[in-house]
């Protein structure tokens, strides 16, 4: 059976996803759909697919499931979370300016910042960072040293003077034996106006931005004594502001969310 599915393409600092209201459509194989629709020449083109649903538990208002461009399911995405906040408010699905979003890595709280009744920026409470007992890793083949930070998903942050390394080393490090579940890789350069970061996302490759990656980089830089608890993270698609709060140890990420376009696409449900 073929049906037309209404979608929105949105981006947060250039990190673009296809958004579907899952209460209206039954996407039976979201992994396959993510692969097909994310293809930039034959599909809609995106870093992946995001399904928005109603929460089955009272502790949250809505749910998010996110599938990368290779069909793998992600645990969390900060940029997608911000876009969901904008989508829900501007589509009239909620009038709340504080939204509790249930993700595979727990409930995240979205604080919407409005301008002229539109969502201009969103702050996401990303929770507490997680470290291994020894968060400093040294990989071989290729050789590299970095810091592991968990932000609901795994990140390996490498401080370098050449962020172009993402193109040479990103894919290899994603699949490195040190990361049996694969890993997101950040290449970060300290600059006077902030931290310049390029990201290799697990399951998607090089992306314009990564919210959890920005948080992981800010935390790693603070732990290393390179910055304080507030950081400006400069990515290919835009800038994110990160606050690793000393009182509750939570990481708060603030950044933009934008609609790109909306449309319909045919979906074969059987």
230-235 vs 15-21, strand pairing mode: unpaired
DSSP per residue, 35-104: HHHH-TTTSS--SEEEEEEE-SSTT-SEEEEEEETTSPEES--HHHHHHHHHHHHHTTS---SEEEEEET
Residue 222 annotated to the active site: no
Tell the burial category of 116 from Cβ atoms under 10 Å away from its Cβ (0-12, 13-18, 19+).
Answer: exposed
Residue given tokens 């934008």 in the structure block? 258
Query: How many separate domains does the chain show?
Result: 2
Same domain assignment for residues 141 and 105? no
In a domain, 106, yes or no: yes
Residues paired with residue 264 on neighbouring β-strands, in sequence order: 6
- Measured between alpha carbons, how far is residue 247 from residues 74, 132, 250 in Å? 29, 22, 8
Catalytic residue among 77, 83, 183, 215, which? 77
| pLDDT, average across residues 170-179 | 89
Instruction: Examine the domain organization and report whether 111 and 48 are in the same domain.
Output: yes
What pLDDT does 270 receive?
64
> Is 215 one of the annotated active-site residues of the chain?
no
Q: Indicate if 94 and 118 belong to the same structural domain.
A: yes
Same domain, 204 and 243: yes
On whether residue 107 sits in a domain, the answer given is yes
| CATH at 40 | 3.10.310.10
Cβ proximity of 231 and 222 under 8 Å: yes
Kindly state whether residues 114 and 154 are assigned to the same domain.
Answer: no
Percent of the chain with pLDDT over 70: 95
Domain that holds residue 22: 2-126+256-268
Q: Is residue 82 one of the residues assigned to a domain?
A: yes
Both 140 and 116 in one domain: the answer is no
Confidence of residue 251 (pLDDT cuts 50, 70, 90): very high
Do 152 and 62 share a structural domain? no
Residues 15 and 107 both lie in one domain: yes
Mean predicted lDDT score pLDDT of the chain: 94
Could you tell me the pLDDT band of residue 265, with boundaries at 50, 70 and 90? very high
DSSP conformational letter for 179? -
Task: Show the tokens assigned to 50.
Answer: 């995001």
Q: Do residue 52 and residue 118 come from a single domain?
A: yes
Domain shared by 106 and 194, yes or no = no
**Is 131 domain-assigned?**
no
CA distance 138 to 129: 20
The DSSP-derived string for 116-165 is TTEEEEEEEE----B--TT-EEEETTTTEEEEEEESSSEEEEEE-S-TTH
Q: Give the contacts of 116 (CB within 8 A, at least 6 positions apart).
A: none
Between CA 103 and CA 126 the distance in angstroms is 11
Is residue 141 predicted with pLDDT exceeding 60? no
pLDDT greater than 70 at residue 133: no
User: Could you read off the pLDDT of 67-76 as tens digits, one per residue?
Assistant: 999 999 999 9
Within this chain, do residues 88 and 158 fall inside the same structural domain, yes or no? Answer: no
Q: Which of 263, 269, 268, 258 is nearest to 119 (CA)?
A: 258
Considering 144, 210, 215, 222, which one is annotated as catalytic?
210
Same domain, 55 and 83: yes
Model confidence at 138, in pLDDT bands (50, 70, 90)?
A: low
Predicted TM-score (pTM) of this structure? 0.92
């Amino acid at each position: 059976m073929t049906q037309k599915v209404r979608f929105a393409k949105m981006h947060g600092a250039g990190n673009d996803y296809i958004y579907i209201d899952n209460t209206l459509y039954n996407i039976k194989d979201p992994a396959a759909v993510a692969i097909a629709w994310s293809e930039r020449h034959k599909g809609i083109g995106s870093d992946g697919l995001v399904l928005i649903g109603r929460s089955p538990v009272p502790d949250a208002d809505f749910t998010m499931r996110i599938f990368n461009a290779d069909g793998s399911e992600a645990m969390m995405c900060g940029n997608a979370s911000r876009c969901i906040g904008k989508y829900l408010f501007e589509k009239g699905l909620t009038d709340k300016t504080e939204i509790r979003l249930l993700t595979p890595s727990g409930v995240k709280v979205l604080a919407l910042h409005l301008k002229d009744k539109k969502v201009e920026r969103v702050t996401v409470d990303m929770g507490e960072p997680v470290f291994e007992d020894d968060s400093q890793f040294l990989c071989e083949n290729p050789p590299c040293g970095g810091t592991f930070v968990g932000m609901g998903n795994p990140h390996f942050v490498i401080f370098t003077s050449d962020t172009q390394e993402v193109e040479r080393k990103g894919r290899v490090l994603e699949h490195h034996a040190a990361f049996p579940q694969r890993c997101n890789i950040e290449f970060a350069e300290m600059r006077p106006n902030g931290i310049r970061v390029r990201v290799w996302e697990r399951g998607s490759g090089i992306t314009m931005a990564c919210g959890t990656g920005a948080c992981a980089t800010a935390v790693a830089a603070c732990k290393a004594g390179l910055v304080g608890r507030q950081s400006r993270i400069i990515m290919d698609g835009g800038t994110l502001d990160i606050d690793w709060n000393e009182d509750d140890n939570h990481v708060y990420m603030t950044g933009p969310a934008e609609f790109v376009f909306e449309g319909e696409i045919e979906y074969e449900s059987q």
